[in-house]
Structure formats: C-alpha cells, structure tokens
Structure 1
C-alpha cells in the first residue's frame, strides 16, 4: 500500500477533499513506472499508483488513460485529459499545460550507441518526444530519426540493428533488457541528461484551477524533494 510519509498530510488531504469529481489521468507506457497490459490495454505501475493516490486524497475519482504519446498530447491540448506526467520543455505540450512545481521524480535520458554502427547517423526514438532538446541537437548534426509509437518499439528497433543509436529514458531500457536478451555487444552511452519530471495540468481542463490549487497545497505539506519521495511502499499499514 502507498502511504504518505507524514501523517499530517493525510489529515490535511481530508480537508481538501470536499466532494468527489472525476479526473482523467493520462500516462504513456514507461516501464517500470508505467507498464501497459497488452491484452487489456490498461496501465499500472508505481507512477500510476502514486498519481491515483494523490488525486484521490484531494477528492477525485480517477480514470486512467494510456494512449501512445502523440495521441495523449492531442487529448491534453483539447482538455480531454486533465492531468499527466511529463518533463518541462516537451514541445508537443508547450504552452498547453501548467506544471506543479514539486518534481514528481528524476529521470535519466541517454543516447545509446551501437559501436559497430556508430558512423551510421540514425536514431530510434519515440514519436512526439524531443528529449529535452536532444532531438534538435542531433538533427542539427545530421542525424535521422526513426520514430516509433512507444519506448518498447523504439528499443526493439535499435536492438534489431535497424538504427545505430537509441534516444531513450534509461529506466525503460533497463527494464526491457531484463526480460529480453541484449543483442548488441558493443554498446556505449554516448550522452546522458538527468532531468526532473512533473505533474502537468491541461490548460484546457475545466478543473485546471482547482487541481492546481489542491495539489500545490497538498504537496507543500512535505519537505521531500520529490513526490515519489513523499510516498513510500509499505505492506503493513501506516507508521
């Protein structure tokens, strides 16, 4: 069960939850934080559980959607998705979301290189992701991107030797190679960026102001650096 580290946070959350409303939480496949069930198309994982818990604490019923990134960004722009998780600087949602300032977590973006193909300037990536400017930097240097719908497909394209490079968040890549044989012998990390990710509220959401107010007040009750640190996994009740 996920609980908040500080008991007063639970108490204060009850005061914030005045009435129950539905919000749509949109996430993209991002194992192990967000894992998509291939049969049901439902998503689960630590990021989903923590986000749902926080939203329920401030009085919302939560509906989770996990479409491909390009589709999710469109639904955010139209206000069909109320809240999501993303990094600042993602051009696909630039000026369409308001970020909750406390970081949700920190992530590492890496550029993986197959040393045997390093002179081939091709990069597997996720469609709609600019990787905090990495895409633009590489395109200026003459790299060609092959965009896939999600992280798993991009990783597989790279693993099959179809591209010489892979732009990816490190966590999904490590998760993938735990369950799939790594087919590349001479693999190097040629670039790394560590960045924060945030809860982001759609500017087109009818609940934008109340969501921003409730979440900001809730998360300000703890001095933890990130939202994930503000939560803990525990099997037996609260402290």
Structure 2
C-alpha cells in the first residue's frame, strides 16, 4: 500500500511539473516522417504527443538515424522511441510497454527484370537485423547495402541500384503513394513475417515512471490491442 501511494504521489508531482520528453524519431513513414534533420513528425509522433503531453509537460522530437538513436537511448539523450523487441543493436538498459504500438509486415522485394549479378545486393537499414532475416539473406549470398533509413533503402531499390530490398510494408507503400508510383510488374514480392513494434523507454530517462505509467494507463483505459489503429 505504501509503495502504491508513493507511486501515485510521484506521478502526481510529475504531472504538475514542467519538463520535456524527448521522442527519438527516424524516417519510417507513415509512423515517423523526417522532412530534414531538424524536422520530424508523423502519425506516431502525434499520437504519442496526445497521450504524454499534459499540463506543462511537453513532447519534442529528436531526429536521427536508427543506429544513432540506439546510442542515444543508452545514454538517456532520448527518453523513448518505437522499435521491434529483437533488434540486436538496441541497448540493454531499456524497457518495453506491454501493449504493442503496431504490427509491421516484413517484406522482401526483388527485381525479376534485372540481369543477375555475380553477387546480388540487398538494400536495408543500417542497424536493423530484421528479426534475424539479415543473417538469413547474407547466408544466401546477398551483399548488404546499408542505408541510414527506410526511405533511403527504398530509393536504392526503386532506382535499380540494388538487386533486392529488405524492408517493412508501411514505408514502402508510403513511398510509392507519395511519388505516385505503381507497383511494377517485374517486382517479386514476399511477406517474410509479421512483427510487433513497441514503445521502448530508456532506463536512463528521468521521466521513465511517468512515461511508462501514462502509456500503460492509456492502453488499459482504451482497451487497446495496439496503440496505432
């Protein structure tokens, strides 16, 4: 009982405090959208802001490639981000919100019209191991072209500068829609698996209790299976 009272008191104090929560964002539309290195938004940013931004508590974004965000999580330079659980580059000092944010479809695309190279290449995001699929594709003889974010990887493939693309469905579809491109007939498409993504909170964050309890309370009150609809 004493522990519960102390927790409620802590949340009450934080809710009436004046502080900033830093959400780590990389270019992964439509959830995260970066217009440049200083401006980022997207559906996940707006939803997270609506949940966590209360009273004098503000939510700001930190725009960076995934590999850099993982280091910032480790050091507490960002308070939270959204990611799948099994990325090997994630630091150890993190926690996850139990309710998943969204379910992602991991897909493999290849260009059947391209001449077969001596060593096939595959565009991917630097720092992502894609739930073990990076190792699988490397064992099949693919050489990885690692790019800073999802859109850079999609562009590499669409411009015929890689044999294949390992990506998630959402940013690929977003890219085609934004550029008014159709799905080319010579693209070979395969869904590899469906993977849940979660809110990831840095254990170094001074606001981890407020963030965790507020997100959990919202998920419970709304009876959510996923934060993103």
Fold in common (TM above 0.5): yes
Deviation per residue, 1:162-181 (Å, 9 max, x gap): 21110111111111112334
1:37 equivalent in structure 2: 35
Structure 2 alignment gaps of length 5 or more: 1-10
What do residues 67-87 of structure 1 show as CA deviations (whole Å, max 9, x unaligned)?
111111111111100011111
Partner residue of 1:46? 43
Distance 2:129 2:56 in 1: 34
The aligned residue for residue 19 of structure 2 is: 21
1:228 offset after TM fit, Å? 2.2
2:12 and 2:182 mapped to 1: Cα distance?
48
What is the alpha-carbon distance in structure 2 between the residues aligned to residue 96 and residue 90 of structure 1?
A: 14
In the alignment, is residue 71 of structure 1 matched against residue 68 of structure 2?
yes
Equivalenced residues, count: 216
2: CA distance between counterparts of 1:182 and 1:222? 37
**Structure-1 separation of matches of 2:79 and 2:106:** 26
TM-aligned CA deviation for residue 16 of structure 1: 8.1
What is the CA–CA distance in structure 1 between the aligned matches of 2:91 and 2:69, rounded to whole Å? 14
Offset from partner CA, 1:54-107 (integer Å, 9 cap, x none): 111487311111211111111111110001111110111142320001011111
Aligned to 2:164: 165
Q: Structure 1: any 5+ residue segments left out of the alignment?
A: 1-12, 230-239
Are residues 1:199 and 2:199 paired?
yes
Conservation of the 8 A alpha-carbon contact between 1:104 and 1:228: yes
CA distance in structure 1 between the partners assigned to 2:83 and 2:40 by the alignment: 16
RMSD of Structure 2 on Structure 1 (CA): 2.4
1:137 aligned counterpart, secondary structure? helix
Q: Deviation string for 1:126-183 (max 9, x for gaps)?
A: 1111111111111122221100111121111111212111011111111111233459
What's the counterpart of residue 173 of structure 2? 174
Residue 144 and residue 182 in structure 1: after superposition, are their counterparts in 2 closer, same or farther (change >3 A)?
Answer: farther
Distance 1:89 1:225 in 2: 20
2:227 aligned with 1:227, yes or no? yes
Q: Is the counterpart of residue 217 in structure 1 residue 214 in structure 2?
A: no
Query: Runs ≥4 in structure 1, deviation > 6 angstroms?
Result: 13-16
Contact 1:16-1:214 at 8 Å conserved across structures: no
**Aligned-pair CA distance for 1:218:** 3.1
TM-score normalized by structure 2? 0.84
CA–CA distance in structure 2, aligned partners of residues 33 and 118 of structure 1: 35
Aligned in 2, Cα 1:15/1:216: closer, same or farther, shift over 3 Å? Answer: farther
TM-score, normalization by structure 1: 0.81
